[in-house]
Amino acid sequence: MEIFLIISGVICAILGIIGCVLPALPGPPLSYTALLLLHFSGREPVFNKDFLVILAIITLLVSLGDYFLPIIGAKKYGTSRYGIWGAIIGMIIGIFFLPPLGMIIGLFMGAILGEMIAGKENPGL
């Protein structure tokens, strides 16, 4: 059982690191899951409860910020729904064609195209 938890923890840690780059994978929750799996893999607890609770709160706050701050920022600067959806779709397409740089280029190109569809004359300027 210990070997299974260790292997699962290492896999979650690797996926968590990949999740820092790919938006499709939730990096912080996967990394925290890896921490928990490795914590419970031994006979003695590796971390104390306070440490695990503090990291759980930090993981929750980082995950919520990761999803909501870009939307709040986009709305603050007057981005339309088309621009937001264009950025999301462009980023996903960019991942497949020129990773990881394509993700950033696709995000900007998708946002500009989305704003042009929405009817803005000078999107991104």
Using one digit for the tens of pLDDT, what is the confidence trace for 41-100? 887 878 899 999 999 999 999 988 887 887 788 778 788 889 888 888 888 888 788 777
Each residue of 107-122: pLDDT tens digit?
Answer: 888 888 998 898 877 6
* Both tokens assigned to 53: 């609770």
Tokens of 48: 């104390």
Handedness of CA 29, 31, 33, 39 (dihedral sign): negative
Confidence of residue 125 (pLDDT cuts 50, 70, 90): low
Q: Give the up-direction half-sphere exposure of residue 119: CA atoms within 13 A in the CB hemisphere.
A: 0
Q: Could you tell me the residue ranges of all domains in the chain? A: 1-67, 78-125
Tokens for 45, please give them: 């607890």
Cα(70)–Cα(72) distance, integer angstroms: 5
Mean pLDDT value across residues 22-39:
89
Locate all alpha helices (DSSP H) within the chain, ordered by sequence: 2-19, 27-39, 49-76, 81-97, 101-118
